[in-house]
């Protein structure tokens, strides 16, 4: 027999599940517009902000983001200049493989460098980019040291 506390807890879980399912259906029944999603690590430190103008859900694994911006924050709290900003007009994301691709232009910039290109692919697990066309890289000379 379930205790009153257990029944109350199950009721809260059911209410939360129903609300969460309703919100997901509401968000993705059409397109999601103008969003900002902060992401945190297991210790509560902010890893990055992901924002965009529109998200189109393609299927349960894939979605398209228009005007995506990803601001990745430095883990070095004493030197926040090590953050990186990534922008592109469109990204196609496979959430299961943690891979994003785009045929348009992308800009990857920090205080140390700036890279632009098109026909790109980002491997989220290894945090590596491949820029296939129109690639330009600029190293900011005030940050380059021979040491």
The number of beta carbons lying within 10 Å of the beta carbon of residue 17 is: 10
The per-residue pLDDT of the chain, averaged, comes to 76
Whole-number Cα distances in Å, 61 to 32, 45, 57, 123, 126? 16, 27, 8, 15, 19
Predicted TM-score (pTM) of this structure = 0.69
The number of beta carbons lying within 10 Å of the beta carbon of residue 72 is: 19
Give 46-73 pLDDT, tens digit per residue.
888 888 898 888 887 888 889 999 888 8
In 3D space, the residue among 26, 51, 28, 25 whose CA is nearest the CA of residue 38 turns out to be 51
Band the pLDDT of 107: cuts 50, 70, 90.
very high
Give 119-139 pLDDT, tens digit per residue.
999 887 787 889 999 999 999
C-alpha 121/C-alpha 91 separation (Å) is: 9
Band the pLDDT of 25: cuts 50, 70, 90.
low
Q: Where are the domains of the chain?
A: 1-30, 31-143
C-alpha 93/C-alpha 86 separation (Å) is: 14
Q: Which CATH class is domain 31-143?
A: mainly beta
Per residue, the 3-state secondary structure of 107-139, as one string, reads EEECCCEEEEEEEEEEECCCCEEEEEEEEEEEE
């Amino acid at each position: 027999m379930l205790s009153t506390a257990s029944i109350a807890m199950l009721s809260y879980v059911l209410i939360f599940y129903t609300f969460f399912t309703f919100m997901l259906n509401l968000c993705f029944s059409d397109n999601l517009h103008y969003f900002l999603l902060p992401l945190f690590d297991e210790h509560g430190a902010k890893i990055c902000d992901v924002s965009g103008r529109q998200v189109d859900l393609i299927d349960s694994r894939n979605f398209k983001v228009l005007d995506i911006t990803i601001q990745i924050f430095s883990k070095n709290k004493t030197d926040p200049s090590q953050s990186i900003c990534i922008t592109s007009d469109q990204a196609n994301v496979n959430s299961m493989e943690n891979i994003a691709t785009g045929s348009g232009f992308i800009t990857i910039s920090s205080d140390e460098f700036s890279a632009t290109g098109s026909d790109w692919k980002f491997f989220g697990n290894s945090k590596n980019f491949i820029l296939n066309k129109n690639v330009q890289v600029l190293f900011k000379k005030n940050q380059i040291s021979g040491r």
